[in-house]
């Protein structure tokens, strides 16, 4: 007999060699039906695999992320089986589970897949699933595994096996399909009830651009058709928030063939968003003691040689233009310019911390395949600033920057994000990283402490720091689930040296400042792209391109409406008037579609009493209000953020 310890601490005795599935059945049939996979002594484990010694046991169902991951991984195997059935001789790369679904990389040996083929593949998968074939675990020697896959002619698997440690290797099979796999898997294919293969894409073998490109097939599967339907519905809803779609509909930005890829044109509505964001940033930065500076869009090669950017980032910059025998580059970052501004006059410790801010315009040559709406562009404007400070001031400055981030997140109601804290690898000092072990330790500790003190959830990513210091990136997701860095906050103790920046200390020595790069609002492009999706186009009043629209019931009320429009404009409210001779229902519908926060209806009643009938977007008619009150309240609502 062996002892099995459950997560709640209870211990029960079972026969030696029992399986997790048998244990589950002994507890209840319902539980046994629900579970997909388990953990035995912290090792993820198949339900039918025997246990030969006392152990702890944790069971996972579809509700757990371990359950879902296993389910999708097994689905990937099922897809591979279907592929092999339809296209004999295909070779397989890897087929893991994702956060949402799974994929398999395959070498179709010259065959191409069309979307129609995916439907065929789905059908085949469902057919194979309905056979309830068991996922069977099998341990074999490395030699036998190599022999099997070499005979099968699957060089990808052979490559993978060669990299595994010597000893036993596990294979999993279901039906006629055998795959190299660590496992575990769900009990049988019958658990997979609903399948949707979502897309086909190219993917380099092992993510290496120089190697064979395989076909990656993405899919997702569910235990119930209803779950799949819900998922597809959710995707449809997400698409409606897509900033590329809303940006066009709401006339915020556009791209034009003649202007060039990745270079957005901001329409007047987008212009308002930019103005408002800058207004917020400038106010916030003024209050925090920043100075505004300005720098040109072009700079000489020598500066980027000095900054050290050129050797590393030339590929990401537009090629140089030559004038008077000199090379000039479009600027891809603002830091060197700001360093030059720091260096323009002699600095004393009394000037520090010196905070230089600029909504700087940059140009980056992003690869053509990487462009993505407003989220990844070639011309961009950054909410940039550089803080020059002493080591003693660093902690306070970094903390203040962090508080600014949180203030913004609060204003915009941003709660779905992850802070990535990137640190260095001490083994790579002097190679990938500036060789100053003490400063690395000091600054990383300080950054970590600030995060902990502020109670901010974060993930620490070793060996991802910039060459000049640790950094924090704020990761967000677009409506279609792609991940982006929204904002960045970086410590820099290298550029000061490269530019020979210095300040005079109280004891009349010279010292080098530490530098903080920070961009809490990222770039206008990415931030507005994000905001469009975040608000689904329903901007708060202070941001809304058009804050209110006057809707006269009939032409009789036009003159009064026009008079009111002037009043709104005097109060700097962005207001329009719908002077078409349409019915009020139509005017309201159009205003709703334009997502204007306030619809102000004017009929006889309102005209007589100098009032407006207020209809707030989304909440319907809220009755007649004196016109001056409406103006005052909209004004107050849109200014509150700046006070």
Partner RNA sequence: GCCGAUGUAGCUCAGUUGGCCAGAGCUACUGAUUUGUAAUCAGUGGGUCGGGGGUUCGAAUCCCUCCAUCGGCUCCA
515 closest CA partner among 343, 643, 382:
343
Interacting residues with RNA between 164 and 223 (CB under 7 A): 199-204, 207-209, 213, 215-216, 218
Is the bond into 353 cis (omega within 30 degrees of 0)?
yes
422's tokens: 């990137």
Compare residues 173 and 381 and give the one whose CB is closer to RNA.
381
> DSSP E strands: which ranges in 175-235?
177-180, 194-204, 213-222
Q: Does 585 bind RNA (CB under 7 A)?
A: yes
623's tokens: 């009755």
Q: From the list 31, 232, 235, 371, which residue makes contact with RNA (rule: CB under 7 A)? A: 371
Compare residues 276 and 334 and give the one whose CB is closer to RNA.
334
- Under a CB-based contact definition with an 8 Å cutoff, are residues 7 and 58 in contact? yes
Instruction: Convert residues 515-554 into a mask of x (bound to RNA by CB under 7 A) and - (unbound).
Output: --------------------------------------xx
Compare residues 9 and 369 and give the one whose CB is closer to RNA.
369
Q: Does 333 bind RNA (CB under 7 A)?
A: yes
Q: Scan for tokens 């083929």, then name that residue.
A: 117
Q: From the list 369, 457, 508, 643, which residue makes contact with RNA (rule: CB under 7 A)? A: 369
Q: What order do you get walking across the sheet with 177-180 strand by strand? A: 136-141, 168-174, 177-180
- Under a CB-based contact definition with an 8 Å cutoff, are residues 262 and 370 in contact? no
Q: What's the first-to-final CA gap in the chain, in angstroms?
A: 72
Q: What is the smallest separation between the CB atom of 356 and RNA, expressed in angstroms?
A: 16
Compare residues 171 and 375 and give the one whose CB is closer to RNA.
375
13's tokens: 């005795």
Q: Does 588 bind RNA (CB under 7 A)?
A: yes
- Under a CB-based contact definition with an 8 Å cutoff, are residues 392 and 444 in contact? no
Q: Does 626 bind RNA (CB under 7 A)?
A: no
Contacts (Cβ under 8 Å, ≥6 apart) of 407: 284
| Region for 167 from its dihedrals, namely left if φ exceeds 0, alpha if ψ lies in -120 to 50, beta otherwise | left
Q: Does 328 bind RNA (CB under 7 A)?
A: no
Q: Provide the H-helix boundaries in 153-212.
A: 155-163
Q: Does 365 bind RNA (CB under 7 A)?
A: yes
Q: Does 65 bind RNA (CB under 7 A)?
A: no
Instruction: Convert residues 91-120 into a mask of x (bound to RNA by CB under 7 A) and - (unbound).
Output: ---------------------x-xx-----
- Under a CB-based contact definition with an 8 Å cutoff, are residues 494 and 455 in contact? no
112's tokens: 């191409």
Q: Does 269 bind RNA (CB under 7 A)?
A: no
Contacts (Cβ under 8 Å, ≥6 apart) of 210: none
Q: From the list 47, 69, 332, 357, which residue makes contact with RNA (rule: CB under 7 A)? A: 332
Q: What is the smallest separation between the CB atom of 229 and RNA, expressed in angstroms?
A: 20
- DSSP for residue 215: E
Interacting residues with RNA between 441 and 500 (CB under 7 A): 466, 480-482, 488, 490
- Under a CB-based contact definition with an 8 Å cutoff, are residues 592 and 538 in contact? no
Q: Does 610 bind RNA (CB under 7 A)?
A: no
Compare residues 352 and 375 and give the one whose CB is closer to RNA.
375
Compare residues 466 and 486 and give the one whose CB is closer to RNA.
466
Where does this chain touch RNA (CB under 7 A) — which range of 286-294, 405-413, 563-571, 576-584? 576-584
Q: Does 268 bind RNA (CB under 7 A)?
A: no
Compare residues 19 and 490 and give the one whose CB is closer to RNA.
490
């Amino acid at each position: 007999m062996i002892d099995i310890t459950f997560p709640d601490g209870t211990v029960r005795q079972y026969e030696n060699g029992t399986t997790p599935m048998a244990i589950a059945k002994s507890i209840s049939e319902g539980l046994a039906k629900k579970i997909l996979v388990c953990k035995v002594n912290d090792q993820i484990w198949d339900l039918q695999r025997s246990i030969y010694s006392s152990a702890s046991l944790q069971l996972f169902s579809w509700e757990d992320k371990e359950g879902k991951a296993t389910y999708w991984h097994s689905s990937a195997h099922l897809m591979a089986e279907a592929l092999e059935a339809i296209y004999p001789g295909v070779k397989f790369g890897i087929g893991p589970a994702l956060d949402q679904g799974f994929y398999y990389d395959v070498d179709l040996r010259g065959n191409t897949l069309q979307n129609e083929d995916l439907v065929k593949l789905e059908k085949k998968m469902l057919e194979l699933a309905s056979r309830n074939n068991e996922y069977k675990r099998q341990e074999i020697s490395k030699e036998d595994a190599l022999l099997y896959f070499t005979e099968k002619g699957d060089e990808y698997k052979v490559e993978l096996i060669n990299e595994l440690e010597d000893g036993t290797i596990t294979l999993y099979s279901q039906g006629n399909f055998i795959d190299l796999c660590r496992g575990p898997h769900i009990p049988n294919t019958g658990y997979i009830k609903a399948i949707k293969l979502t897309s086909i894409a190219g993917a380099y073998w092992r993510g290496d651009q120089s190697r064979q490109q395989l076909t990656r097939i993405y899919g997702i599967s569910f235990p119930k058709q209803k779950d799949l339907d819900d998922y597809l519905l959710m995707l449809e809803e997400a698409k409606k928030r897509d900033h590329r779609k809303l940006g066009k509909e709401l006339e915020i930005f556009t791209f034009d063939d003649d202007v060039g890829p990745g270079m957005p044109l901001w329409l007047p509505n987008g212009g308002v968003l930019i103005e408002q964001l800058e207004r917020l940033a400038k106010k916030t930065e003024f209050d925090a003691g920043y100075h505004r500076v300005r720098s040109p869009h072009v700079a000489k090669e020598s500066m980027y040689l000095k900054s050290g950017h050129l050797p590393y980032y030339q590929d990401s910059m537009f090629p140089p233009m030559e004038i008077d025998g000199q090379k000039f580059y479009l600027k891809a970052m603002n830091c060197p310019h700001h360093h030059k501004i720091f260096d323009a006059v002699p600095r004393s410790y009394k000037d520090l911390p010196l905070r230089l801010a600029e909504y700087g315009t940059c140009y980056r040559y992003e690869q053509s395949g990487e462009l993505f709406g407003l989220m990844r562009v070639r011309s961009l404007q950054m909410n940039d600033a550089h803080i020059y400070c002493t080591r003693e001031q660093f902690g306070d400055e970094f903390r203040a920057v962090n508080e600014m981030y949180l203030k913004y997140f609060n204003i915009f109601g941003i709660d779905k994000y992850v802070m990535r804290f990137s640190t260095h690898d001490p083994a790579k000092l002097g190679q990938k990283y500036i060789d100053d072990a003490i400063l690395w330790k000091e600054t990383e500790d300080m950054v970590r402490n600030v995060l902990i003190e502020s109670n901010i959830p974060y993930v620490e990513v070793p060996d991802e720091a910039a060459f000049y210091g640790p950094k924090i990136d704020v990761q967000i997701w677009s409506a279609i689930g792609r991940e982006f860095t929204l904002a960045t906050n970086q410590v820099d103790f290298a550029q000061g040296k490269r530019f020979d920046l210095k300040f005079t200390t109280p004891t009349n020595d010279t010292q080098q400042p530490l530098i903080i790069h920070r961009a809490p609002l990222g770039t206008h492009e990415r931030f507005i792209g994000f905001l469009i999706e975040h608000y689904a186009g329903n901007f708060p009043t202070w941001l809304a391109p058009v804050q209110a629209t006057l809707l006269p019931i009939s032409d009789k009320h036009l003159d009064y409406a026009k008079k009111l429009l002037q009043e709104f404009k005097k109060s700097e409210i962005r207001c329009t008037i719908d002077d078409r001779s349409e019915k009020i229902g139509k005017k309201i519908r159009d205003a709703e579609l334009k997502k204007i926060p306030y619809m102000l209806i004017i009929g006889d009643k309102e005209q007589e009493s100098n009032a407006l009938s207020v209809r707030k977007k989304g909440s319907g008619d809220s009755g007649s209000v004196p016109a001056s009150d409406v103006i005052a309240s909209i004004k107050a609502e849109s200014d509150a953020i700046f006070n």
